[in-house]
Each structure stands twice: as C-alpha cells, then as structure tokens.
Amino acid sequence: MKKKYHHGDLKNALVENAIQLLECEGLPALSLRRVARETGVSQAAPYSHFKDKRALLAAVASEGYRRFSARMRKEADARPDYYTLSLGMGYVLFALENPALFHLMFDGQLSEPLDDEAFNSYQLLVDGVEQHPLGVRKSPHGKTLGTAVAWSVVHGLATLLLNKNFTPQDYGFTEMESFVEHVLSSSLHPPNEQAKP
Amino acid sequence: MKKKYHHGDLKNALVENAIQLLECEGLPALSLRRVARETGVSQAAPYSHFKDKRALLAAVASEGYRRFSARMRKEADARPDYYTLSLGMGYVLFALENPALFHLMFDGQLSEPLDDEAFNSYQLLVDGVEQHPLGVRKSPHGKTLGTAVAWSVVHGLATLLLNKNFTPQDYGFTEMESFVEHVLSSSLHPPNEQAKP
DNA sequence: GAGCTATCTTAACATTGTCAAGTTATAATT
DNA sequence: AATTATAACTTGACAATGTTAAGATAGCTC
C-alpha cells in the first residue's frame, strides 16, 4: 500500500490501533503519540479527528460496547432457552477475553455523557432480564429489582475474575465457563417463591 | 509548625496528602510531583520512601483497604443480627463515600501481589458469608458458591452505582441506603429451599 | 569532635498531551 | 481546466510528568 499524505481512513485506523495497543500492552502504554506513531502519522494528526485523548478513548470504548453487545447476542442466540443466563455469560466472557478494553469501558473517567453504543449494551441486558423475569422480589414501587441484582452479579463477577480476586479453582472448578455458568445460574434462577419482606 | 530539612514523617504525610488529592480532584490530578509540592517537599523526595509512583499508589490503596475493613465492621457491628447483609452495605457505602479511593483499590493495575490489608478486607467478607450461610446451592465439589455470588453482587452493585449505570431513582427509591438494602437482601437472603440443579 | 547514613534538594532527561503555524492534497466553484 | 477553499496532515514548540544522578544537610554513633 502506498504512503499518502492523506491517510484516507485515519479515524478508524487510530481507533483500531488503539484497541490493539490497549489489549497487547495495557492502558498505561496507550499514549496518543504512540498510537499516532504506530499508525504512521505525526503526533498531532489525531487532533484532526479527535478533540482530546479522552475523545479517542471514548471512541475506543464505543467500539468496545459494539463488540460487547455482539458477544452477548452471540451467546444468547446459541442458547435461546436460557436467554438471560446466556446474556450474562456473554457479559463475563467478553470481559475475560478483552480485559483492558472492558476495564476502559467501565472506568467511568470518560463516559460522562452515556454513549449510544453503551446504552444499547445495557439495554440488551436490562431488556433480557425484564422480559425473562427471574422471580425476584419486586420493589415497593412495582419496578423489578431483579434487573439491578442481575446486572450487579454479572458485572461484579466479571470484575472480580478479571482482578483475580478469586478463581474457578478456589471453588473446585477447572473450567472457567462451567464456573461462570454455575455462579450465574445460582443467582439468576432463584426459586419460584419469595420469602417475607 | 517549623520548616525542617528532615520532615520526620514524610512517608505517612505523602500517603495522607495523596488520599486527600485523590478524593478532592480525582485520579488524573494525582501526580507524584503534585503530592510532593502539596506536602512541602521537593519533587524527588518521595523516592526516598517509595520506589515508584505505583508504590505510592499501592500504599494509598493499602490504607484504603484498612478504612474499607473498618467501614464494613462498623456497619456489621451495628446490626449483628443481619451480619452478612450489613457487611455488604458497608462495602457499598464505602465505595460511595470514597469513590476515587475505591476505584484505585480495585483498579487491578497495581496490586499484582495481593496486599495484606487487601487480603484481610476480602477475608472479612468471605468469612462473613461462609459463617452465615445463605442457603445458596453448593458447587459440585462441596464448596459454597454463595461466597462468589455474594461478593459479586456486592461489588457489582458498588461499581455500577459509582459509575451511575443506574440509580435508586430508576427503581423508585429516593434513598440510597434503602435501595442498597433491598437489592442486597434480595440476593443475600434467598428463600430457604433451593430448586433443582 | 569525626564520620555514617538516611533524608532531602537541585538539575537534568525523555516522554507525554496539546496547541499554533504552516503545508499539502482533495473537493468545490468557476 | 484553473483557481480557490477546506479538510487533513506536519513541524515545532510549551508545560507537566516520571525518573535518575549528583550533591547537600541533618541527626546518629563512636
């Protein structure tokens, strides 16, 4: 390929290389200059497409959410009979497969205004839970607390596994996937009835 | 107070000021030079006490875990009859009261070798769950998955509330504390019996 | 007192995010 | 097709950061 003054697709190339760098060398290695260098443009070139470094990271996170949604859907489509459980497994597996990206997405430091792509991901999970109710107690005001519980379990499990706060081995499991499935089904498929307040 | 060449207690002062800065202006504002300046010493002074910036941050996180444990114990001691639930509430409330510190503690980027203080915090929660079993299904190998579930819910809830991924208002609650209590008790106090595998 | 050593300072280096000023290629207009 | 305009890039600079090397100072031991 030829070396052109105008790259032609720099914006996407920057995001792509940023993701590459992020997953290969981690967040600390992700400098704007480095991304630019790796993309073959000068240090200030990214500023034609992104206001900030944070804007680049936001774009990276946005792409992350796109893949996140896809990963969850893939898992859920494969097991429609366990829709909610599969969504959750997709959630956790994505985190384990893309640690740095997942971390960036949920870092909080950047996403002040909630991205569309992010919102869609959340909605996927929320809708899944709402449409496949779990038998969890309703809140006093009639909205299902189950969504909050499910989201919390899934997100917490993903985070704690990432940080190696515990491992499947700690619980006698040899395979990650089996462990995740058991943990999630423990909390996502509670018994039919509910105890008193 | 007098301006001495030898500070006398610089190591602790640095950690203290770092925490201050962290909570007041956030992680991005936390530079080694800034902490040194605020403490009244020169830019390279911290290197007499910390190998790295990461070492300083690790010390900050360690102090964070100390306060974290205290916060959980305080809550649990106040309601011994709801021991596990209270531990969980302490967990979440600490996160909400010390957002940046909590974030740093669980960032993962630093704590490769698990700190003692950190381990103690975790053990507090784990022991709490183990000693006050929740009736959650056991794993095939006999260890309680309940610990993983409980830890996940609590950590996920803390994280998602911090990131404002949802709010108590979304579920019709006006008070944070009440919301947290309901979510946690939904998942920490499941009904007595358990459904089939 | 003399000397040791931990503690702290000053000076410097490479790297980073960011901006201002210029350059070049593409698109728009004529 | 020539000119113009505009978007996409480059170079060069600035302040701030993490970190190291070399030196100064103070409190300790003998």
Query: pLDDT by residue (tens digit) across B74-104?
Result: 999 999 999 999 999 999 999 999 999 999 9
Element housing A62 (H / E): helix A53-78
Asked whether the beta carbons of residue A151 and residue B159 sit closer than 8 angstroms, the reply is no
- Residue extents of the structural domains in chain A: 1-50, 64-188
In this predicted structure, what is the pLDDT of residue A139?
A: 53
Asked whether the beta carbons of residue B154 and residue A156 sit closer than 8 angstroms, the reply is yes
Position B185 pLDDT exceeds 70: yes
Position B183 pLDDT exceeds 50: yes
Instruction: Name the β-bridge partners of B66.
Output: none
Distance CA B140, CA B142 (A): 6
More confident residue, A187 or B95: B95
In this predicted structure, what is the pLDDT of residue A118?
A: 85
Structure confidence at residue A103 as a pLDDT band (50, 70, 90): very high
Amino acid at B184: L
Closest by Cβ to A149, choosing from B122, B172, B187? B187
What average pLDDT does range A57-65 have in this prediction? 95
For domain B61-188, the CATH architecture is Orthogonal Bundle (1.10)
Structure confidence at residue B119 as a pLDDT band (50, 70, 90): confident
In this predicted structure, what is the pLDDT of residue A130?
A: 77
CA of B3 to C1' of C8 (A): 13
Structure confidence at residue A15 as a pLDDT band (50, 70, 90): very high
Q: What is the 3-state secondary structure (H, E, C) of chain B?
A: CCCCCCCCCHHHHHHHHHHHHHHHHCHHHCCHHHHHHHHCCCCCHHHHCCCCHHHHHHHHHHHHHHHHHHHHHHHHHHCHHHHHHHHHHHHHHHHHHCHHHHHHHCCCCCCCCCCHHHHHHHHHHHHHHHHCCCCCCECCCCCECHHHHHHHHHHHHHHHHHCCCCCHHHHCCCCHHHHHHHHHHHHHCCCCCCCCC
- CA distances to A126, B76, B123 from A123, in Å: 5, 35, 35
Token pair recorded at residue A39: 């993309």
Looking at beta carbons, which residues of chain A come within 8 Å of B109? 26-28
CA of B10 to C1' of D25 (A): 16
Token pair recorded at residue B101: 């510190």
Using the Cβ of A113 and the Cβ atoms of chain B, whether some distance falls under 8 Å is answered with no
Q: Which residue in B has a C-alpha nearest to residue A108's C-alpha?
A: B163
Asked whether the beta carbons of residue B171 and residue A148 sit closer than 8 angstroms, the reply is yes
What average pLDDT does range B133-139 have in this prediction? 54
- Residue B147: closest CA among A147, A84, A160: A160
> What mean pLDDT value characterizes chain A?
86
Residues whose C-beta lies under 7 Å from strand D:
A 5-8, 10, 36, 41-45, 47-49; B 4-6, 31-34, 43-44, 47, 52-54
Position B193 pLDDT exceeds 60: no
Query: pLDDT by residue (tens digit) across A148-168?
Result: 999 999 999 999 999 998 999
Superfamily of domain A1-50 in CATH is Homeodomain-like (1.10.10.60)
